[in-house]
Structure 1
Amino acid sequence: MDQSPLIDIGLPVALAIIMVGIGLSLTKEDFAVQARSPRASVVGLVGQLVLVPLVGVGVAVAFDLAPLLALGVVLVAASPGGATSNLITYLARGNVALSIILTAIASVAVIFTLPLWFDLGARIIPGADAFEVSVPLAQTFGLLLGVILIPVVVGMVLRARKPALSDRIERFVGVVGLVVLVLLIIGVALGERDRIVDLIVSVGPAVVALNVAVIVVGGLLAWICRLGRAEQIAIAAEFGVKNTTLSLLIAFTVIGSEEVGLAAAVYSIVMYITTFALVYGGRRLMRTAPGAG
Structure 2
Amino acid sequence: MRTCPVLANVRPMNSSTATTVFLPIALGVIMLGLGLSLTVGDFGRVLAYPRAAAVALGCQILVLPALCLGLVLLFDLEPALAVGMMLLAASPGGTTANLFSHLARGDVALNITLTAINSVLAVVTMPVIVNLALDGFMKGEDAIGLQPAKLLQVFAIVLVPVAVGMVVRRRNPELADRLNRPVRIASVVVLVTVIAVAVYQERANVLGYLQAAGLVALILCVLSLAIGYVAPRAARVPRGQAVAASFEIGVHNSTLAITIALSPALLNSTEMAIPPAVYGILSFLPAGLLAYAMSRRQDEQVEIRT
- Is the structural similarity TM-score above 0.5? yes
Counterpart selection for 1:134 from 134, 139, 143: 143
Equivalent-residue separation in structure 2 for 1:65 and 1:27 (angstroms): 41
Change (3 A) 1:16 1:195: closer
Q: Which residues in structure 2 correspond to 1:192-211 (within 5 Å)?
A: 195-211=205-221
2:187 maps to what in 1?
177
SS at match of 2:283: helix
Q: How far apart are 1:61 and its partner, in Å?
A: 1.4
Q: How far apart are 1:64 and its partner, in Å?
A: 1.2
Q: How far apart are 1:45 and its partner, in Å?
A: 1.4
Equivalent-residue separation in structure 2 for 1:115 and 1:206 (angstroms): 22
Q: Which letter does structure 1 place at the counterpart of 2:152?
A: G
Equivalent-residue separation in structure 2 for 1:270 and 1:9 (angstroms): 23
2:125 maps to what in 1?
113
Provide structure 2 residue ranges, at least 5 long, that are not aligned to the other structure: 1-12
Percent of aligned pairs with the same amino acid: 37
Contact 2:57 2:118 in 1 (8 A): yes
Counterpart selection for 2:268 from 239, 253, 256: 256
1:44-89 deviation digits (Å, cap 9, x = unpaired)? 1121122112211111111111111121111111100001111111
Q: Which letter does structure 1 place at the counterpart of 2:86?
A: V
Is 2:109 the counterpart of 1:97? yes
Change (3 A) 1:155 1:182: same
Change (3 A) 1:95 1:66: same
SS at match of 2:157: helix
Counterpart selection for 1:270 from 272, 282, 293: 282
Provide structure 1 residue ranges, at least 5 long, that are not aligned to the other structure: none
Contact 2:15 2:270 in 1 (8 A): no
Is 2:39 the counterpart of 1:21? no
Equivalent-residue separation in structure 2 for 1:223 and 1:94 (angstroms): 13
Change (3 A) 1:232 1:162: same
1:233 maps to what in 2?
243
Equivalent-residue separation in structure 2 for 1:108 and 1:292 (angstroms): 41
Counterpart selection for 1:157 from 146, 153, 167: 167
2:298 maps to what in 1?
286
Contact 2:68 2:85 in 1 (8 A): yes
Equivalent-residue separation in structure 1 for 2:46 and 2:145 (angstroms): 33
Q: State how many pairs are aligned.
A: 290
After TM superposition, the structure 1 stretch with the greater mean CA deviation from structure 2, 136-145 or 235-244, is 136-145
Equivalent-residue separation in structure 2 for 1:258 and 1:183 (angstroms): 19
Equivalent-residue separation in structure 1 for 2:285 and 2:107 (angstroms): 21
2:3 maps to what in 1?
none
Change (3 A) 1:283 1:6: closer
Equivalent-residue separation in structure 2 for 1:235 and 1:216 (angstroms): 10
SS at match of 1:260: coil
After TM superposition, the structure 1 stretch with the greater mean CA deviation from structure 2, 203-212 or 35-44, is 35-44
1:82-114 deviation digits (Å, cap 9, x = unpaired)? 011111111110011110011111011111001
Contact 2:43 2:113 in 1 (8 A): yes
Counterpart selection for 1:68 from 80, 83, 96: 80
Q: How far apart are 1:136 and its partner, in Å?
A: 4.3
1:244-273 deviation digits (Å, cap 9, x = unpaired)? 110111110011111111111111111111
Q: How far apart are 1:134 and its partner, in Å?
A: 2.5
Change (3 A) 1:106 1:207: same
Q: How far apart are 1:34 and its partner, in Å?
A: 3.0
Contact 1:188 1:258 in 2 (8 A): no
Q: Which letter does structure 2 place at the counterpart of 1:212?
A: V
Contact 2:105 2:240 in 1 (8 A): yes
Q: Which letter does structure 1 place at the counterpart of 2:134?
A: A
